[in-house]
Amino acid sequence: TELDSRLQKFIEDTESRHKDITPSIGDLLVYLTVSEKYGWEDLKESYLSEQLDRQVFWILQEIPELDEEKIKKEKAKKAEAKAKRKAEQNKDKQAKKGTEETKQAEEETKEDAEDTTVEEKKEPTNQEQELEDAKIEVSFKSTIVGYRITMMMKLINTEIFEKGGKDFLQLTNLLDERFCRLLDDHEAEVKSKINKIFDVRDFIKYYEIVGRKIPDKKTLGESLKTATKNSSAKKYHGDDENLNA
């Protein structure tokens, strides 16, 4: 079917996940309910990865310092401007002083220009780790509505439609007979899982609910940084005039 074809492209082709081709990834969760070929497990990894790339735009509204590439560029520009000012000062020195002092000034300029080299990686201090943990917490809370929708649609697909073998005639007959209610035990189970959705406050619990491998905090932090780079490459955020946000 056409819906299965759209799901297949999104799952198998990374280019098809871009906003230009798939403007609303939420639609894919609806396609799953009637898909004859695909279920949540098939879509899960590609969907969650693209979802995080798209959430970066909103996360950066709360935590702009998460965009490390932008910060590096800004530092490089400042260092370049500083080096230019130093070079101009050196020209004045050259006009007034001897060659030896000029060489010394040139060395100073070189040191200033190299001041933007990548710092040696060190293990984070407790304070730095607390800051990283806070970034992850705010990242989730700033986009929690989207995650709740995903958890709810995953629940509907896996606990109602897929559990019944996607036999829609059987499901509609059951709901007609019971005035739109599931069987008592099944209904209680679904209600319990819905309550758990509204208790989710972080990525760890989120991934547990949607069935993704639960990362440790370090891996999670790296995932956010990777998503930020992906978002920039896809022009979901940034200063480019062709922004796709």
Q: What is the pLDDT of residues 206-241, one digit of tens each?
A: 999 999 998 888 899 899 999 999 999 999 987 655
pLDDT of residue 152: 96
Backbone phi, psi, residue 143, to 5°: -130, 30
Give the angle subtended at the CA of 142 by the CAs of 141 and 145, to the nearest 5°.
Answer: 80
The stretch 120-145 carries a mean pLDDT of 80
Of residues 210, 199, 213, the one with CA closest to residue 156: 210
| % of the chain beyond a pLDDT of 70 | 76
39-43 long-range contacts, Cβ below 8 Å, gap at least 24? 39/157, 39/158, 39/162, 40/154, 40/157, 40/158, 40/162, 40/211, 41/211, 42/7, 42/11, 43/7, 43/10, 43/11
Place of tokens 């220009």: 113
Cβ atoms of 21 and 15 within 8 Å: the answer is yes
Whole-angstrom distance, CA of residue 27 vs CA of residue 11? 14
Question: What pTM did the predictor assign?
Answer: 0.75
